[in-house]
Structure 1
Amino acid sequence: MTHRFDVRVYYEDTDMAGIVYHANYLKFIERARSDWVKDQGLDQNAMREEDGIVFVVRRIEADYLGMAKYDDALTVNTTVKSMTGVRLIMTQEVMRGDECVFRAEVTAVCVTTTGIPARLPEGLRRRVH
């Protein structure tokens, strides 16, 4: 299942040429992942406060494939590629219409609030598998 998250490019997202600054794609895909987690029925504040665990990004492999510009309407498509008890690998594509302008493979894990590795929430593992 693919999760879709819409993004509008604002002036603050661009460089002097009016093109999306490269680091801002990471912000766009982060917002989309946060929205995906919420759609999975997880409350990240409760995870932190009640269970003492948080999601962290362990790895990102990114490809810049095109240029998005000021005022473009973009869609971030997020798909789970694989999941184990401790690791979630997602593919995220930033689309402008039918054109993919950015693609990333993101590995996320859970850690305790003190930084010790932890299992992904059981509800997420059941829901995604």
Structure 2
Amino acid sequence: MPHEFRVQVYYEDTDMGGIVYHANYLKYIERARSAWVRDLGIDQNAMREQGIVFVVRRVEADFLGPAKLDDELIVKTETVSVSGARLVMSQEVTRTGKPLFRAEVTAVCATLSGQPVRLPAEIRQKVH
């Protein structure tokens, strides 16, 4: 079942045309992923204290329609695949059920110095 995260579009999110600036969709999906892992019981602060962080390795995105000031959006996040080293997620931003933005995001774990590491087993189990 997809995780759902609500977003309200504020004036600061829009461009001169009154629509959501394209880069803000990346912020919306980042917030949704953070809420998703928190809701799964994954403590990113504890991970960082252990020297491991999530890093986005790849984003493939499609802009399907404009969101505008005061729109109420829903970001849906779900796992596509999990391996020993990577987590692939599908994310979709909708307004009243209509898709506006879709992305496939690949995340990996890394040390604080940026060296890749395997996803911890307990994280693989929670996101699967």
Q: Would you say the 8 A contact 1:40–1:124 is kept in 2?
A: no
1:31 — aligned with what?
31
- Alignment of structure 1 residues 45-64 onto 2, 5 Å: 45-49=45-49, 51-64=50-63
Runs of 5+ consecutive residues of structure 1 not aligned to the other structure: none
- Return structure 1 stretches of 4+ with deviation > 6 angstroms: none
1:118 — aligned with what?
117
1:100 — aligned with what?
99
Alpha-carbon deviation of 1:37?
Answer: 0.8
2:13 equivalent to 1:13: yes
Alpha-carbon deviation of 1:52?
Answer: 0.4
Runs of 5+ consecutive residues of structure 2 not aligned to the other structure: none
CA distance, structure 2, for counterparts of residue 4 and residue 27 of structure 1: 15
Cα root mean square deviation, aligned: 0.8
Alpha-carbon deviation of 1:22?
Answer: 0.2
CA distance, structure 2, for counterparts of residue 126 and residue 32 of structure 1: 19
Q: Secondary structure at the match of 1:105?
A: strand
Alpha-carbon deviation of 1:26?
Answer: 0.1
Percent identity between matched residues is 67
CA distance, structure 2, for counterparts of residue 74 and residue 126 of structure 1: 29
